[in-house]
Amino acid sequence: RKEVEQDPGPFNVPEGATVAFNCTYSNSASQSFFWYRQDCRKEPKLLMSVYSSGNEDGRFTAQLNRASQYISLLIRDSKLSDSATYLCVVNMNYGGATNKLIFGTGTLLAVQP
């Protein structure tokens, strides 16, 4: 089983739609969680961290369910500029002082005019 699993998509949605991405992780000792965004032929960039209480940043809402080992990202009122690959990222502690980011394979979102 992969350490971080995501639906690869693509998700093709019209402008203005609401779209949700899901992600599951295998290591219950995982400590922190993120969504990164990667545009075509560009580097990944942090979109938002994910907290247990859920958190919102404008049109983006992230949620974490530790019991189910499940992370989600909701995008409301999709814009053309939201088209990108969304990477679910989990920070795992491998003992001692070593933390390591584990990336999912990403979910491709294409927002259509």
Site residues, another protein (CB under 8 A) = 31-32, 42-46, 49, 85, 87, 91, 93, 97-101, 103, 105-106
Minimum distance, C-beta of residue 101 to another protein, in the bound complex (Å): 6
With vertex at residue 23, the alpha carbon angle to CA 70 and CA 73, rounded to the nearest 5 degrees, is 90
Q: How far is the CB of 102 from another protein (least distance, A)?
A: 8
| Beta carbon of residue 20, minimum distance to another protein (angstroms, whole number) | 21
Cβ contacts of 29-32, under 8 Å, gap ≥ 24: 29/92, 29/93, 30/69, 30/90, 30/91, 30/92, 31/91, 31/92, 31/93, 31/99, 32/90, 32/91
Comparison of 67 and 97: residue with beta carbon closer to another protein: 97
Nearer to another protein, 18 or 99 (CB): 99
